[in-house]
Amino acid sequence: MNLEEYKGVYVFAQQVDNEISSIAFELLGKAKDLAKDLNTDVTAVLLGSDVKGLADNLAEYGADKVIVVDDPELKVYRTEPYAHALAEVINKYKPEIVLVGATAIGRDLGPRVSARVATGLTADCTVLEIGDFPLQAIPGQEQKHNQLLMTRPAFGGNTIATIACPDNRPQMATVRAGVMQKIQPIKGAKAVVEEFNPGFTPDNKYVEILDVVKAVTDTVDIMDAKILVSGGRGVGSPENFKILEDLAAVLGGTVSCSRAVVDAGWKPKDLQVGQTGKTVRPNVYFAIGISGAIQHVAGMEESDIIIAINKDADAPIFDVADYGIVGDLNKIVPKLTESLKAEIAAK
Amino acid sequence: MKIVVCIKQVPDTKGGVKFNPDGTLDRGAMLAIMNPDDKAGLEAALRLKDEYGAEVTVVTMGLPKAEEVLREAMAMGADNGILVTDRVLGGADTWATSTTIAGAIRNLEYDLIITGRQAIDGDTAQVGPQISEHLDIPVISYAQNIKIDGDSVVVERQYEDRYHVVKAKMPCLITALSELNEPRYMTPGGIFDAYQKEITVWGRADLKDVDDSNLGLKGSPTKIAKASDKVRKGAGEKVTLDPDESVSYIVDKLKVKHVI
Amino acid sequence: MDFMLSKEHEMARTLFKDFAENEAKPLAQEIDENHRFPRETVDKMAKLGFLGIPVPKEYGGQGCDPLTYVMCVEELSKVCGTTGVIVSAHTSLCCDPIQTYGTEEQKQKYLVPLAKGEKLGAFGLTEPGAGTDAQGQQTKAVLDGDEWVLNGSKCFITNGKEADVYVIFAITGTVEKRGKLSKEISAFIVEKGTPGFTFGTKENKMGICGSSTYELIFTDCRIPKDNLLGQKGKGFNIAMHTLDGGRIGIAAQALGLAEGALETTINYVKERKQFGRSIGAFQNTQFQLADMATKVQAAQLLVYQAAMKKAEYAKNPKVSYSVEAAMAKLYAAEVAMEVTTKAVQLHGGYGYIKEYDVERMMRDAKITEIYEGTSEVQRMVISSNLLK
């Protein structure tokens, strides 16, 4: 494998129902940074049926070039025709880097394609940068420059590892949704559009889709919430969560909870934050009556602002809180709700 | 029907992760358990066995100690256990791991291979789909509700906001979610029976159609540049105020941060 | 002498521990508070074979040794003393005598469904006037044609009303021993639903509140002649031998309670802070814990030894495990009481509140010094063997 032949940063531009997924724009934003460091350009790979029209959309978010594989076989996502298409694009165009969203599609497509083109794949990355491998020069070992350094959490977020793929190309990563920044779209931007069709020959690997069932949920996923008002055992009773709900309502937020609350049967499991629950990163996280066991902290420490209210001054939650208030939540929370109501009404 | 279930022994992260003084993971201090998604995969296989009749073979790759999860699987109802262990296989990334397991499975007859979606130590979700690629069979990731229909499987394949009802001809590989089912417990008698059974142990020489250059640390395209305990955010301010002062304190902070 | 458990036993412990944590623990507080029999847990245990652990496979059991059974009761009792005693009474006091003394027909009819958990078992020996003194029995059984007719009552019966099969003791005549007349006792198998077999009051207990403790009343209760268990007149021996096994079960329950209280307390003293440091940092706490842990360990060795002696008996019926069982129960029960009491003390005010598990554990522990032979009875068994 001549590594020098491989050029350019490629992004798998995921679309569902002929609508580009947000992750694709996020990846383009990151790809632009990487391409700048490598002095190369950004290519989006768009797979689907009747998707040509979406190319401009990708250009607006930073794609210099769009490779379109447009075929009826690609109408609804299936592993094989998509893997075939992406692998053939890689074989033909020889990209240096291929980024795929760590979505339910990308985490299926990425490994299948990486195995087919015989390269490494790093899963669920949260940081991507260009650097040297090894990070520090080691005598007797070649230090390679301009490598993609892929950083990812493991062990449920308890460790982080930085991984390189120094001897194989392309360097492939799946990237966690919501981590990379999109660029401000450039209206009217155009990309070079190139159509490519590797041909599709259905075999056993082309599975049959019998039905597509879209989920209807009316509950807000706490992972999507911008403001979370989270309660722990200190809230005292399921009834007392009312004061948290009132606070959340005023701020347009959502109530979540700690494991102790779920174990006590006060709240359902899908509201649980923490290692055995969900990992959240809202703009504001209120930790109310939560002591802050490490398993809980692992699920919320990435929040932008953490405000903790707890009567125990020694509670470990104060070790991660940006603003910690030692006091009685029953006295503070209802007053806070009233005060915020007044503030918002005054605006 | 013959079902192969791939399982992995992983450190239990439920009670928190323990570290050595040098920042590396202290695997010895953590309980070793069967990876939860793999257990769900095994349960799915055992239910197919209950419903349609099947021979269930569990395969694991790891240190000799990984025999424990095979025994556990057999105590739950699996028929056979295969341990793939060899020094040359150590340090494998997902590519080298999937190459190894595919090499082991090539020795077996199978209609269905079930793997867990992902392991709680690596969280990659890559090995299942990669095995299917090496074996050139269809893969259905993130599967729920597995049914057999003649020579095909019909499963619900989960996406973020929908699921597809997918039909695939066997042989095929399915990756299972731990939400798939509630895995059964072992039975006391099953445990003692499991220890009476033979476990097949395979080394490098038993792997079929694999190249040395694709195995172990050397055969892994991805290399670890750096690994560390996660740096935790430090403490911010801590105040003790009366309720009214506390409220104005919070409101001020929310204003400064443009939340309101 | 090998103190290492086999891998099988280690894995069985993992199983029982997982089950206890996931299924029994979440209910422990609620069933205690509501004095509710945890039927759902019993159903789950039945499916997993927990109700026939030491029963041979040919009789629907798991075919495991007594140690495996003991570990099951131990792990369940760590989180819920009630669940532990349900299994113990069923297995040791109902399955075991039928397995030991039953005819092949009785085993097929009763032991198989009991071991599979399709039916639950109980044991009725105690009467209002016959506790430690089993000779004080009043319940009578009279043969009338092809049927035994039972009259009398039994009290403090664990699994009462919830159980389907009862091993019952009754007087079937008198015998002359060294010139003195004494009662001849026989054992019977009685099914729930038999006309004339009813339940009296439910006892309102201090501890193991989820366990169902009832008075059994027999009024012209007619059971088939074939339901005589073992030989006529051998009831007293059957009862005593059954209780030897039962004591190992109760010893395991006591051991589990002590272990549970110790674990809970260790976690608590690490978290609880007074005077600016965790109370585990105080030497008093440390020394208390050291004593508690040492005694728990000693109790475990005695209980496991008794279980292993019972396993030996299975191979050679000449082996007696009576003394080992008595020592295990005596010591484990007293350790359970001591350790749970200290656990409450180390919890301070919180230990006295029902929200904290040690409060329940202390109440649950007390009964282990009383039922299936009080600590005094155990001392009698042990000393009479020393002085014989």
- Label residue A269 by pLDDT band (50, 70, 90): confident
Q: Searching chain B, which residue's CA lies closest to the CA of residue C49?
A: B187
The better pLDDT of the pair B119, C263 is held by C263
Q: How far apart are CA C7 and CA B68, in angstroms?
A: 9
Read off the tokens for C327.
């020592």
* Residues of C classed as catalytic: 372
- A238 and A341 assigned to the same domain: yes
User: Using the beta-carbon criterion (under 8 Å), do C11 and B191 form an inter-chain contact?
Assistant: yes
First to last CA, chain A: 63
Q: How far apart are CA C70 and CA C306, in angstroms?
A: 10
User: Using the beta-carbon criterion (under 8 Å), do A332 and B246 form an inter-chain contact?
Assistant: yes
Return the pLDDT at B100.
97
- A190 and A45 assigned to the same domain: yes
Summarised one tens digit per residue, pLDDT across range C23-76 is: 999 999 999 999 999 999 999 999 999 999 999 999 999 999 999 999 999 999
> Average pLDDT for residues C196-222, to the nearest whole number?
97
Which among B133, B90, B106 has a CA at the least distance from the CA of B220? B90
Residue A236 maps to a domain: yes
Contacts of B95 (CB under 8 A, 6+ apart): A114, A115, A118, A119, A120, A121, B130, B214, B219, B220, B221, B222
Is the pLDDT reported for residue C268 higher than 60? Answer: yes
- Label residue A3 by pLDDT band (50, 70, 90): confident
> Average pLDDT for residues C365-386, to the nearest whole number?
96
Listed residues A145, A174, A195: the one ending a domain = A195
Phi, psi of C213 (to 5 degrees): -115, 115
Domain that holds residue A178: 3-195
* Any B CB within 8 A of C200 CB: no
- Label residue A1 by pLDDT band (50, 70, 90): confident
Name the minimum distance, in Å, from the CA of A225 to any CA of chain B.
14
- Label residue A283 by pLDDT band (50, 70, 90): confident
Listed residues A143, A176, A195: the one ending a domain = A195
Q: Is the bond preceding C26 in cis, omega lying within 30 degrees of 0? A: no
Q: How far apart are CA C90 and CA A256, in angstroms?
A: 43
Return the pLDDT at A341.
92
Residue A169 maps to a domain: yes
Which among B5, B193, B223, B23 has a CA at the least distance from the CA of B114? B5
Q: Give CA separation, C293 vs A322, B98, C261, C375, in Å.
A: 41, 46, 10, 21
Other CB atoms within 10 Å distance of the CB of residue C376: 12
Average pLDDT, chain B: 90
pTM for this predicted structure: 0.84
Return the pLDDT at B24.
59
Residue A232 maps to a domain: yes
Is the pLDDT reported for residue B14 higher than 70? Answer: no
For chain B, what percent of residues have pLDDT higher than 70?
Answer: 92
Return the pLDDT at A259.
87
Q: Which domains does chain B have, with CATH numbers?
A: 2-214 (3.40.50.620)
Average pLDDT, chain C: 95
Judging contacts by C-beta atoms under 8 Å, the chain C residues touching residue B188 are 12, 15, 48-50, 53, 62, 64, 68, 72
- Label residue B15 by pLDDT band (50, 70, 90): low
Judging contacts by C-beta atoms under 8 Å, the chain A residues touching residue B228 are 159-161
- A104 and A172 assigned to the same domain: yes
Q: How far apart are CA C330 and CA C383, in angstroms?
A: 12
* Any B CB within 8 A of C10 CB: no
Residue A17 maps to a domain: yes
CATH number, domain at A170?
Answer: 3.40.50.620
Angle between helices B94-105 and B127-135 (to 10 degrees): 50
Q: Give CA separation, A136 vs A141, B231, C108, in Å.
A: 10, 21, 75
- Interface probe with B: pick from A109, A116, A205, A314, most Cβ of B within 10 Å: A205
The better pLDDT of the pair A262, C153 is held by C153
Structurally, chain A folds into a number of domains equal to: 2
- Label residue A105 by pLDDT band (50, 70, 90): very high
Summarised one tens digit per residue, pLDDT across range A140-179 is: 889 999 999 999 987 766 778 899 999 999 999 999 887 7
Q: Searching chain B, which residue's CA lies closest to the CA of residue A275?
A: B14
Q: Give CA separation, B128 vs B33, B38, B160, C264, in Å.
A: 19, 11, 19, 41
User: Using the beta-carbon criterion (under 8 Å), do C11 and B185 form an inter-chain contact?
Assistant: no
Q: Searching chain B, which residue's CA lies closest to the CA of residue C63?
A: B189
Q: How far apart are CA B221 and CA A167, in angstroms?
A: 7
- Label residue A114 by pLDDT band (50, 70, 90): very high
Q: Searching chain B, which residue's CA lies closest to the CA of residue C72?
A: B188
- A97 and A237 assigned to the same domain: no
- A40 and A120 assigned to the same domain: yes
- A168 and A87 assigned to the same domain: yes
Summarised one tens digit per residue, pLDDT across range C212-239 is: 999 999 999 999 999 999 999 999 999 9
- The ipTM estimated for the assembled molecules is 0.91
Residue A217 maps to a domain: no
CATH number, domain at A234?
Answer: 3.40.50.1220
- A250 and A308 assigned to the same domain: yes
Which of C6, C8, C48 is nearest residue B187 as measured by Cβ atoms? C48
Return the pLDDT at A262.
86
Name the minimum distance, in Å, from the CA of C113 to any CA of chain B.
17
Average pLDDT, chain A: 92
Return the pLDDT at B187.
97
- A103 and A244 assigned to the same domain: no
Which of A207, A212, A326 is nearest residue B138 as measured by Cβ atoms? A207
Question: Which residue type does C90 have?
Answer: H
User: Using the beta-carbon criterion (under 8 Å), do B187 and C7 form an inter-chain contact?
Assistant: no
Return the pLDDT at B232.
58
- A62 and A188 assigned to the same domain: yes
Which among B20, B225, B95 has a CA at the least distance from the CA of A152? B225
Judging contacts by C-beta atoms under 8 Å, the chain B residues touching residue A332 are 243, 246-247, 250
- How many Cβ pairs closer than 8 A exist between chain B and C? 45
Summarised one tens digit per residue, pLDDT across range B115-164 is: 998 888 877 889 999 999 999 999 999 998 899 999 999 999 988 788 99
Summarised one tens digit per residue, pLDDT across range C85-113 is: 999 999 999 999 999 999 999 999 999 99
The burial of A236, by beta-carbon neighbours within 10 Å (0-12 exposed, 13-18 middle, 19 or more buried), is given as middle
Read off the tokens for C217.
């009343």
Summarised one tens digit per residue, pLDDT across range B223-247 is: 998 887 766 566 788 888 889 999 9
Listed residues A179, A195, A211: the one ending a domain = A195
Residue A200 maps to a domain: no
E strand or H helix at A333: helix A329-346
Residue A205 maps to a domain: no
Q: Give CA separation, C19 vs A275, B215, C33, C190, C273, in Å.
A: 21, 39, 21, 31, 32
Return the pLDDT at B237.
87
Q: Is the bond preceding B11 in cis, omega lying within 30 degrees of 0? A: no
Summarised one tens digit per residue, pLDDT across range B34-47 is: 998 999 999 999 99
- A7 and A151 assigned to the same domain: yes
E strand residue ranges, B8-79: 9-11, 32-34, 55-61
Judging contacts by C-beta atoms under 8 Å, the chain B residues touching residue A155 are 11, 13, 17, 25, 120-121, 123
- Label residue B260 by pLDDT band (50, 70, 90): confident
- A179 and A286 assigned to the same domain: no
> Average pLDDT for residues A276-292, to the nearest whole number?
87
Query: Are the beta carbons of A166 and A144 closer than 8 angstroms?
Result: yes
> Average pLDDT for residues C363-383, to the nearest whole number?
97
Residue A155 maps to a domain: yes
For chain C, what percent of residues have pLDDT higher than 90?
Answer: 89
- A8 and A153 assigned to the same domain: yes
Question: Which residue type does B183 have?
Answer: P
Is the pLDDT reported for residue C193 higher than 70? Answer: yes
Q: How far apart are CA B82 and CA C287, in angstroms?
A: 48
Query: Are the beta carbons of C226 and C105 closer than 8 angstroms?
Result: yes
> Average pLDDT for residues C362-370, to the nearest whole number?
98
Q: How far apart are CA C56 and CA C96, in angstroms?
A: 11
